[in-house]
Amino acid sequence: MLRTLKIAVVAGVLGALLLPPLGVAAHGPRRDPIRFATFNASLNRPVEGQLRSQLEAAVAGTVDAQLQAVLDIVAINDPDVLLINEFDTGVDGEPATVALFAELAGYDYFFTAPSNTGVPSGFDLDNNGSIGGGGDAFGFGAFPGQFGMAVFSRYPIDVDRVRTFQTFRWVDMPGALLPHDPATGESWYSDDELDVVRLSSKSHWDVPIEVGRHRVVHFLVSHPTPPVFDGPEDRNGTRNFDEIRFWADYIRPGRRSRYIYDDNGQHGGLRPGARFVIAGDQNSDPLDGDSIPGAIQQLLDHPRVNDRVTPSSEGAVEAALLQGGANATHLSDPAFDTADFADSSPGNLRADYVLPSRSLDILNAGVFWPRLGEPGSELTGTFPFPSSDHRLVYVDIRKRGR
């Protein structure tokens, strides 16, 4: 049984717990450096509640093979602060489901909140002539909370100061790339739909991590929609661009971020001088794939972002050479790839990012993608993947930054 020592609720539906891990030796937080990581772990399931059942079984001693591979990857890389994308959290961002994973992985603190995935909009957002299904949800999903997110930490989370942006309307972003029907030139969404359509396909969270006395790093996490699975209107491509832009505006104090409001009605972005780490599967490669050109550059070229060290791996280079196909014509360095996608199209891409602020010094960075035959390669593998088609990405930062 989970023994809850601390729980705090934000916006009525999310929480952070301090709990003793079962069956996993607890790792205390590193003194220096601190490892931040992101991992699209493909912990999504076709049936609501299935992941929770598998986690409960794992605590009892029967572990699903894919879940075990994910846990092993996390254990090998041992991040202090971890974002997991594609984690089924349930309709209200159920803390109990995330608590089970925290227990198995040995994390003292965690955070989750509701996701837009699978939440019915009540409108025909994909314009296919009927209302219902994943394409008409605020974010694609078969049920609420599918493909959600969760943050795990060995440092305390200041849950009273967490900000979530699940309900921020796309139309409220100045200069938003709202899609248009190329056949008519008319807006893809009706006025009534624009009144409710949300920017975030999952959500955007500002999660303050207390890494020392009076020292906070804001973990800015999200999972923008893939820029595909649409039509010539490119509604997912434009949404992906603006979901990435959200953080670019949020970390710029003053007028640029003044339009932003969170789920509690507080306006504005990050305060000047605040330290941050942006993390998540951004579904955008700098030079390859289907995202709108310049999408991820909104962060990579941002004056407040430290991109001096790019996470890389030898396994990604090997995979691109062995798999060929679209990889042979790519412009981006394959060493920076983080996702093993279809060889025909789009090929392997850099999709996952951990981007600290310039006020934080990067000591090391990497992508967990071992070469075939190396230790750990049995956990990443090739299609059908034993864990995920994405790779864990990490950055080690100096605790006592500028």
Please write the tens of the pLDDT for every residue from 46-65: 999 999 999 999 999 999 99
> Is the preceding omega at residue 293 within 30 degrees of 0, hence cis?
no
SS (H, E, C) 296-326: CHHHHCCCCECCCCCCCCHHHHHHHHHHCHH
Whole-number pLDDT of residue 39: 99
Phi-psi label, residue 280: left if phi above 0, alpha if psi -120 to 50, beta otherwise: left
Side-chain-facing half-sphere of 73: CA atoms under 13 Å: 31
User: CB–CB of 196/151 below 8 Å?
Assistant: no
Whether residue 19 has pLDDT greater than 70: no
pLDDT digit string, tens, across residues 83-123: 999 999 977 777 999 999 999 999 999 999 999 999 999 99
**Residue 190 burial (CB < 10 Å; 0-12/13-18/19+)?**
middle
For 31, phi then psi, to 5°, come to -80, -40
User: CB–CB of 206/163 below 8 Å?
Assistant: yes
Note the maximum CA span of the chain. 60
Task: Name the percent of the chain lying above pLDDT 90.
Answer: 89
How far is the CA of 321 from the CAs of 314, 325, 333, in angstroms? 11, 9, 12
SS3 393: strand
pLDDT digit string, tens, across residues 250-261: 999 999 999 999
Beta partners for 48? none
For 319, phi then psi, to 5°, come to -65, -40
Band (28; pLDDT cuts 50, 70, 90) = low
pLDDT digit string, tens, across residues 115-150: 999 999 999 999 999 999 999 999 999 999 999 999
CA–CA dist 208, 219 (Å, integer): 6
Q: What is the overall mean pLDDT for the chain?
A: 92
Among positive and negative, which fits the CA dihedral 49, 55, 56, 61? Answer: positive
Angle between helices 65-77 and 95-105 (to 10 degrees): 60
**Is the whole model's pTM more than 0.75, yes or no?**
yes
User: CB–CB of 83/99 below 8 Å?
Assistant: no
Domain ranges of the chain: 6-397
Those residues whose C-beta lies under 8 Å from the C-beta of residue 130, and which sit 6 or more positions away, are 124
Band (401; pLDDT cuts 50, 70, 90) = low
Whether residue 362 has pLDDT greater than 80: yes
pLDDT digit string, tens, across residues 136-195: 999 999 999 999 999 999 999 999 999 999 999 999 999 999 999 999 999 999 999 999
CA–CA dist 244, 189 (Å, integer): 21
How far is the CA of 253 from the CAs of 165, 168, 244, 309, in angstroms? 17, 18, 17, 25
Buried (b) or exposed (e) across 70-105, using 16+ Cβ within 10 A? bbebbeebebbbbbbbbbbbbbebbbebbbbbbbbb
Across 24-104, the runs of DSSP E, i.e. the strands, are 34-43, 81-87
The two three-digit tokens of residue 279, written as one number: 């993390």
Reply yes or no on domain 6-397 having CATH 1.20.58.100.
no
